[in-house]
Amino acid sequence: MVGIGFGRPSREKHSPGADPDQRDTDQAWNEWRIRVADIWQRPAGASDARNLPEVVDISAYPARMRASRLVNLLLLLQSRGGMTAAQLAEELEVSVRTIHRDVEELSAAGVPIFAERGPLGGIRLVDGYRTRLTGMTADEAEALFLSGLPGPAAQLGLGTVVAAAQLKVMAALPPELRSRASRLVQRFHLDAAGWFKANEDVPHLATLSTAVWEGRMVAVEYDRGDEVVARTLGPLGLVLKGGVWYVVATVDGQARTYRASRVVSATLLDETVDRAEDFDLASFWIESTAAYEREQPSTVVDVRIREDQSWRINQVFGTGTLAAGERIEEPDHPGTIRLRLRLGFPDEVPGSLLACGHNLEVLAPPEIRDRVIMLANRIADRYREAIPDGRR
């Protein structure tokens, strides 16, 4: 078993005139005097375990370096097998020089870490060494349990797996963290779906999930709305947005997004997906959704609405529409506000404006106002028509 101990640094090595990160003051080290035990361990039965020190002294660490950076560095190397100094510096948001210094200090202190030169080189831990979960903070323990969404996990067929994993993590936590995590689960619940929206029926989500996980191509029939088409997809990932599942997949070499509920049939193929090594699902989703919203056709509409009913605009057009609108002063109309709104999907705008109710009036442009009047007249005519049994 190996531990890590922190003590007072040598002033000879960290002189006041050195790198600011290495400046040593009594006050900084009084605050820094902590002890982190059992950060990493050699598996039982390792042949050279007897040669390892019981306590690793890394007292030479700079006063301003947080203990979490050491833990994160070890976790990154453990999970990824090896990384370059530049990659570690980017992940930990420090300089490459700082990474080199950290690695040298860890190695000198007895941590089994080494660097390899060459195009396939990098910084690595000796095979077999594993970090432990003892570095988890109270906030991290709480966030871990807050991040779990039982509904989506169940849709993916992972409901029991997630529950079992949380139970194991809970059992491994120290008593004080276990208490905080339990309290959070009891007092916070995440519901990703919107109001009055039942979960979509996604009958082939499990097949798509398997294709994503195993990196296999999948043949699907996809309902485009006007027709059902056959497609061969190379699934790259699944995304849950606003309670709706989407599959990101390659088609003809391009990454595209499909609504999972519109997949009419799905058959796994033996062919593997050609996945680019640098593809990042989160980055792709952020960029593609931003581009989708930016490139959607829109129209500018001037409306007047009772101020106490203005919330209806957000209800119909989405949260943030009201705040994004330009307010135009109208002193002659007390109790109302005039707004200039940019609204997407122009063909649907007249009907959506009508859904805001009689407290909203469309002022411009004339063509939108005329279409709202036409729709309102059609609705009125419908209700003026005689009901089949003779009642009006």
Same domain flag for 19 and 89: yes
232 in a structural domain = yes
* pLDDT at residue 59, as a whole number: 42
Report if pTM > 0.85: no
Same domain flag for 307 and 290: no
Fill in the amino acid letter for 364.
A
**CATH number of 249's domain:** 2.30.30
Residue 30: domain span: 2-133
Q: Which among 160, 165, 144, 91 has a CA at the least distance from the CA of 122?
A: 91
- Pairing verdict, β 35-41 and 2-5: antiparallel
Q: Residue 235: in which H helix or E strand, if any?
A: strand 228-241
Side-chain half-sphere of 382: how many Cα atoms within 13 Å?
A: 6
DSSP 83: B
Same domain flag for 229 and 128: no
275 in a structural domain = yes
Q: How far apart are CA 200 and CA 245, in angstroms?
A: 8
- Which one of 233, 266, 294 terminates a domain? 294
- Which one of 235, 259, 294 terminates a domain? 294
* pLDDT at residue 103, as a whole number: 83
Same domain flag for 160 and 102: no
* pLDDT at residue 270, as a whole number: 94
Q: How far apart are CA 222 and CA 201, in angstroms?
A: 14
* pLDDT at residue 211, as a whole number: 93
Cβ pair 335, 367 in contact under 8 A: no
Alpha-carbon distance values, 63 to 10, 71, 184, 287 (Å): 11, 16, 34, 40
- Which one of 248, 269, 294 terminates a domain? 294
66 in a structural domain = yes
- Rounded CA Rg of the chain: 30
77 in a structural domain = yes
Query: Taking the chain (392 residues) in consecutive chunks of 10 residues, what is each chunk's mean pLDDT?
Result: 37 40 38 36 41 41 56 76 87 87 77 81 79 60 61 64 67 72 71 68 90 94 91 92 89 92 94 90 91 87 92 87 88 89 90 91 94 92 72 55
* pLDDT at residue 248, as a whole number: 95
Q: Say which residue the tokens 């509904």 belong to.
A: 151
Count of the separate structural domains present in the chain: 4
* pLDDT at residue 166, as a whole number: 67
Same domain flag for 159 and 212: no
Helix 96-109 × helix 67-80 angle, to 10°: 90
**CATH number of 52's domain:** 1.10.10.10
* pLDDT at residue 217, as a whole number: 96
Fill in the amino acid letter for 55.
V
Alpha-carbon distance values, 322 to 86, 93, 97, 311, 327 (Å): 44, 38, 49, 8, 9
**Token pair in block for residue 371:** 């279409």
Same domain flag for 326 and 342: yes
209 in a structural domain = yes
Same domain flag for 52 and 114: yes
Instruction: Decide: helix, strand or coil at residue 64.
Output: coil
286 in a structural domain = yes
* pLDDT at residue 240, as a whole number: 86
* pLDDT at residue 386, as a whole number: 60
* pLDDT at residue 319, as a whole number: 80
Helical segments of the chain, H only: 26-32, 67-80, 85-92, 96-109, 138-146, 150-155, 159-172, 175-187, 205-214, 281-295, 311-317, 321-324, 349-354, 366-384
Q: Which among 94, 98, 96 has a CA at the least distance from the CA of 19?
A: 98
Same domain flag for 173 and 252: no
